[in-house]
């Protein structure tokens, strides 16, 4: 590829892969903080950049933080407590701004929902929310997609064609057979986790699903213990988390296991 085109392509991919964002930027310009009000997830950072010729500051009303910024300077702060934080410029007190930090549950829900709603598309599936608590579904999406990696072993292939991050491509999960199984790992083939005709993920009731993640007992073969599947780790989760995972799995589209098995991480 032409070198210029190649570097252009690289810089475009760098912009695109920056989702989901765990850092927010507030620009100081024309004697204003922009955006003026932002809402972030617990643990995210905010960076203020002064692009005015005049010196400014970001100073929290209760003095939790203060930083003077001359032209071109920036200041970053991580927000580890939920709440609403007001700040102003100590040189120009009419310049004010607000940072809302979601609590831990709201942050999980927000990330779990963003993964489905992301632009560019990250996981382009439609969730069936009928009769479900949407917040439980999104909390489950956070656990399944951002924490436990179920799709790494249960989606064949894990990533859409041309969107495999291991090849340096812009990441997008394979939606057509998302969590429908068929990945071959150490002599095992991962089963289909999508809802069956009764709406049960992997054909399991909620209590059988939780029992399986806690004990590793194979639901199909009494006495057999599931191999490869990281149930000894997943079984350490709270009931609330296992319930959220189950609820999320009841909301994803049903799909058939692909006829040809994949290898892991494809």
* Binding-site ranges for ligand HEC (CB under 6 A): 144, 148-150, 152-154, 185, 188, 190-191, 193, 202, 209, 212, 218-220, 226-230, 234, 245
CB of 99 to ligand HEC, least distance (A): 33
Cα separation, 119 vs 230, in Å, equals: 31
Cα separation, 175 vs 159, in Å, equals: 8
The answer to whether the beta carbons of residues 195 and 247 sit under 8 Å apart is: no
CB of 246 to ligand HEC, least distance (A): 8
Nearer to ligand HEC, 99 or 150 (CB): 150
Q: How many residues does the chain have?
A: 266
Under DSSP, the state recorded for 122 is: S
CB of 234 to ligand HEC, least distance (A): 5
- Helix, strand or coil for residue 31? coil
Beta carbons within 8 Å of 149's beta carbon, 6+ residues apart: none
CB of 229 to ligand HEC, least distance (A): 3
The answer to whether the beta carbons of residues 153 and 264 sit under 8 Å apart is: yes
Nearer to ligand HEC, 70 or 254 (CB): 254
Nearer to ligand HEC, 40 or 143 (CB): 143
The answer to whether the beta carbons of residues 201 and 128 sit under 8 Å apart is: no
Pairing type for strands 37-40 and 96-101 reads parallel
Nearer to ligand HEC, 97 or 258 (CB): 258
CB of 119 to ligand HEC, least distance (A): 26
Question: Nearest CA to 187 among 259, 260, 255, 261?
Answer: 261
If one counts every other C-beta atom within 10 angstroms of the C-beta of residue 137, the result is 23
Nearer to ligand HEC, 67 or 175 (CB): 175
Nearer to ligand HEC, 77 or 217 (CB): 217
CB of 169 to ligand HEC, least distance (A): 22
- Helix, strand or coil for residue 30? coil
């Amino acid at each position: 590829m032409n070198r210029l085109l190649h570097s252009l392509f690289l810089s475009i991919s760098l912009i695109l892969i920056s989702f989901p964002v765990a850092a927010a930027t507030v620009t100081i310009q024309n004697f204003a903080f922009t955006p003026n009000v932002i809402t972030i997830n617990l643990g995210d950072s905010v960076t203020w950049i002064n692009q005015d010729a005049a010196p400014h500051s970001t100073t929290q009303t209760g003095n939790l933080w203060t930083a003077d910024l001359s032209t071109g300077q920036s200041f970053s702060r991580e927000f580890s407590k939920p709440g609403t934080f007001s700040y102003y410029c100590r040189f120009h007190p009419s310049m004010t701004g607000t940072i809302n930090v979601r609590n831990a549950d709201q942050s999980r829900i927000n990330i779990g929902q963003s993964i489905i709603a992301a632009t560019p598309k990250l996981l382009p599936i439609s969730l069936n929310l009928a009769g479900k608590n949407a917040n439980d579904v999104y909390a489950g999406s956070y656990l399944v997609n951002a924490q436990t990696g179920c799709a790494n072993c249960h989606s064949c292939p894990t990533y859409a064609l041309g969107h495999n991050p291991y090849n340096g491509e812009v990441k997008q999960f394979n939606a057509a057979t998302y969590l429908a199984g068929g990945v071959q790992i150490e002599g095992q083939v991962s089963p289909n986790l999508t809802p069956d005709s009764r709406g049960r993920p992997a054909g399991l009731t909620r209590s059988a699903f939780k029992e399986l993640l806690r004990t590793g007992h194979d639901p199909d073969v009494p006495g057999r213990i599931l191999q490869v599947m990281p149930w000894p780790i997943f079984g350490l989760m709270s009931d609330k988390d296992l319930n959220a995972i189950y609820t999320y799995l009841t909301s994803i589209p049903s799909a058939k296991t692909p006829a040809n098995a994949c290898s892991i991480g494809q």
